[in-house]
């Protein structure tokens, strides 16, 4: 196996499961020192122990990305534990209830925007000072196929992920002068705990499989491999890109 991230320090939010955990495991397998961050302290501890059992160097910190002070403390914990920060993966996110627009509550709107968009902003603001202290650093945000497409009944989620794409592009211009490359992955339907209830419904899996031209939903490892590419020296000329990992959904 390649060791592209030997001695690099990587921070992954939303790392207790799904895409975040797969990403953290992949970085650790390639030699990175990984700080896992998530709201769920119990699942976070299990994830950290899993990576250690696999031979990785991992630590964890509980964080609420809607709290800017928490995000600052998260970065302080990374720097204190590993003496720096080279790569930040802002992956924490929540779904929004699917309902007609007029039935969506202000509370639901604020919740999904606070986590999915404001949370990325908070994390990036906290991460940049630490990233500026090293050369060849990178931020990879988790956007979505809904950063490009609309979906009925999902106004809050779609708006939040459009926002992540815009934030990624704007900050890519702001931060490249410091040597920080900012990009994002835009997953389609991926087999994650977030999607699990829908997949378990009658004909759920066949419905989602049919939505992608490739004919199936994606795996978390397929998204993680794209995150690692964007973080690597192989993507040294890639700036402000929203990389679709969606089996062709954005083409439909």
The CATH number of the domain where 99 resides is what?
Answer: 3.40.50.720
- Given 68, 157, 178, 237, the catalytic residue: 157
The answer to whether residue 209 sits within a structural domain is: no
The answer to whether residue 65 sits within a structural domain is: yes
Cα–Cα dist 175/99, whole Å: 38
Q: Which domain holds residue 129?
A: 9-191+219-244
Residue 237 a catalytic site member: no
Q: Which residue has the tokens 């592009």?
A: 169
Number of domains within the chain: 1
As a dihedral over the C-alpha atoms of residue 216, residue 155, residue 113, residue 125, rounded to 10 degrees, the angle is 70
pLDDT averages per 10-residue partition of the chain, 252 residues: 93 98 99 99 98 98 99 99 99 93 96 98 99 98 95 94 99 99 97 80 80 94 99 99 97 90
Cα–Cα dist 209/24, whole Å: 26
The answer to whether residue 199 sits within a structural domain is: no
């Amino acid at each position: 196996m390649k060791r592209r991230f030997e001695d690099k320090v990587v921070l992954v939010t939303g790392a207790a499961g799904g895409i975040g955990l797969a990403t953290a495991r992949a970085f650790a397998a390639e030699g990175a020192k990984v700080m896992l961050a998530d709201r769920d302290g119990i699942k976070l501890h299990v994830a950290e122990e899993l990576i250690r059992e696999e031979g990785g160097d991992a630590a964890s910190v509980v964080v609420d990305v809607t709290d800017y002070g928490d995000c600052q403390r998260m970065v302080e914990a990374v720097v204190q534990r590993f003496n720096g920060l080279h790569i930040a993966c802002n992956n924490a996110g929540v779904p929004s209830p699917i309902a007609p627009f007029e039935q969506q509550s202000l509370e639901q709107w604020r919740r999904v925007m606070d986590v999915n968009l404001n949370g990325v902003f908070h994390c990036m603001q906290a991460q940049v000072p630490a990233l500026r202290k090293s050369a060849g650093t990178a931020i990879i945000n988790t956007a979505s196929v809904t950063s490009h497409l609309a979906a009925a009944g999902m106004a809050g989620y779609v708006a939040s992920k459009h926002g992540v794409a815009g934030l990624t592009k704007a900050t890519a211009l702001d931060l490249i002068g410091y040597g920080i490359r900012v990009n994002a992955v835009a997953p389609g339907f991926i087999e994650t705990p977030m999607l699990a209830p829908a997949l378990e419904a009658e004909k759920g899996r066949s419905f989602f499989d049919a939505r992608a031209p490739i004919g199936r939903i994606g795996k978390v490892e397929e998204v993680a491999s794209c995150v690692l590419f964007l973080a690597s020296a192989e993507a040294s000329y890639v700036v402000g890109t929203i990389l679709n990992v969606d089996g062709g959904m954005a083409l439909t």
